Chain A
Amino acid sequence: MEYVSPEGLRLDGRRPKELRQLKAELGVLASADGSAMFEMGNTKVLAAVFGPKPVETRSQEDDKRCLVKCEYAMASFSTGERRRRGKGDRRATEITKAIRNCLEQTILVELMPRSQIDVYVQVLQADGGTRCACINAAFMALAAAAVPMRDILASCAAGYLESTALLDLNYVEDSGGGPDVAVAIHPNFDDRVVLLQQDNRVAIETFEEVLQLAVAGCRAVGEFMRQRLLEHTDALAAAREAGQPQEGAADDNEDALDEDDY
């Protein structure tokens, strides 16, 4: 299969260094403390945050920091071929751990001792880059829940096919057999890398190029999320002034502002 045409266009018409269309919506679920829908092209992910709240299992309580719990679930209609999700299959466990690890580095856990934050991500539609979309969705949901965080957490993947570094692979490109480098960064801490995973073998020089591209993609995703959070905060502030509080407007407002100041 030809992944990059002679004109330099990819299968879905993108340039090699182009992201898919990003969409983010905050406060989409009524019962969660914070929620977000994040789309990267056809990949569509929903995240919900419950907490901070008291720790459920006393033995896990930590006097120094809050506990972050995660779960990753794929809807059975999310993939091309329908598949019954095996709860707790290995892939899901791995992604759950990867997400939790990123979030623990981002949330100011030491500010909330003896508490727990639950973060759940639900993949509605999978078209490559689900783990990156999940991390972005989880970050947006945490921001909507006004959880204090160190920085924006932005994630994006890049790959290498037909001697070209490609940003933000879709499912077809992901299955193309080339390397797939998933990265998450804190853009305001000199792009500090908080997640780094790579599949398939690759020359070290190529890896460097792909990594740089992925980091650049993360920066763009981070900027997009920052803009969306600012818009969201403006909308909440406007709603408060108009005296018609939106869903969760009153409690979101102050901390969401803090969030955006970083």
Chain B
Amino acid sequence: MASPLISAAEVQWITAGVSFNIRNDGRQREDFRALSVQLGVITQATGSARVQLGETDVIVGVKAEIGSPDPDRPDCGRLVFGVECSPVASPAFRGRGGDELSGELARALERSFYPGPSGRAGGVDLSTLSIVSGKTCWVLYVDALLLNIGGNLHDALSVAAKAALADAKIPKVEVVQGEDPTDEPGYEVDDDPQWFSLYLYEPDYEVDDDPQQAQRLDVSRVPLCVTVSQIGAHSVVDLTAQEELCSSASVQVAVDESGVVCGLTKRRQKGVDPSVALEMVEVAQRSAAKLHAALAESLGGQQAQQMSVG
């Protein structure tokens, strides 16, 4: 972004406000801005959501494609994250201007969804995306587009990614027998670990395009990110673009619905005392509960509406 400017007086004003627990827009330190979640904004995508957190505005589109699994996790599907900075958000994103920011944000998203070595411990149970072990699986491309930068991008992106995945309807796939006339199923796996996935003949897939048969992904364990920042000597959540310029240190914490911390990243220039860091994590846990509740409420309402229409 074109380096935003802030004067010393403004910094002082915002910092003093935070210490009195009244911010410029009237919020308290642990309040989020108004959250608006719109599902299904991209009708051609498998799932999509537009999330507005105050002035910050992002769209996430999920596209499901049939692909091959990671050789390290043959019985799991894959999630691929991408973030694009639209020039619509800021002239600074013209050309390759947004590449560094988008790389950082994509990595942060990936981390909060990342599964353990088994592929099952992450926010999404990737084994539900497998079609034929070692050979085919669903690959979900989760692509985010930044439309307006108004502070606290990380948190808004994590909400949008979760909402879009919750909106995604994965078509039912049936593995049917290939050309071979024998009664064996469509493929055979050799026991020799060296030839772990040797296929004798190709199985066929039938993708059921009946939306009634499509399955939704279980996203109940997907964590949301809450970034807690230090302004003066206080921990504050959901900073506006202006407040971000007054903050010296922040910790981004991924917290799931039950309040378990799933990931942590320290950002910005200055260090924090370990005790302060712990306090910030506690603030994140408290705030995450509020954010989860707000998202669940808006998801529940919109999905019920879709059901009644469908």
Contact = CB atoms under 8 A, between A and B. Distances in A.
Given A84-B82, A122-B87, A75 B141 contact: no
A87 B145 contact: no
B53 to A, nearest CB: 12
Interface in B60-82: 61-63, 65, 82
B94 interface: yes
B150 interface: yes
Contact of B42 (A47, A77, A118): A77
**Sorted from nearest, which 3 A-B pairs have the closest CB atoms?**
A77-B61, A120-B87, A48-B88
Interface size class of A (residues with CB under 8 A): 20 to 34
A125 B42 contact: yes
B130 interface: no
B270 interface: no
A29 B42 contact: no
Given A122-B145, A125-B42, A30 B150 contact: yes
A124 B145 contact: yes
Contacts of A29: 57, 88-89, 147-148
Given A29-B148, A30-B148, A120 B45 contact: no
A245 interface: no
Contacts of B95: 71, 87-88
A75 B59 contact: yes
A42 interface: yes
Contact of B90 (A31, A73, A75, A80): A31
B252 interface: no
B112 interface: no
Nearest to A47: B88
Given A75-B61, A77-B63, 11 more contacts: A29-B89, A31-B149, A31-B150, A32-B88, A48-B87, A77-B61, A77-B143, A79-B44, A82-B65, A118-B91, A122-B87
B59 A124 contact: yes
A218 to B, nearest CB: 25
Interface string A33-55: 00100000010101110100000
A121 B65 CA distance: 27
A78 B41 CA distance: 11
Nearest to A171: B44
Given A30-B150, A77-B141, A124-B59, A71 B82 contact: no
Interface string A68-104: 0101010111111110110110000000000000000
A73 B55 contact: no
Interface of B: 41-45, 48, 55, 57, 59, 61-63, 65, 82, 84, 86-91, 94-96, 141, 143, 145, 147-150
Contacts of B61: 75-78
A84 B143 CA distance: 10
A127 interface: yes
Contacts of A88: 95
Contacts of B55: 30-31
Contacts of A73: 84, 86-88
Nearest to A74: B84
Contact of A82 (B43, B87, B88, B141): B141
Given A46-B147, A125-B43, A76 B82 contact: yes
Contacts of B62: 77
A44 B84 CA distance: 17
A127 B44 contact: yes
Interface in A14-28: none
A122 B141 CA distance: 19
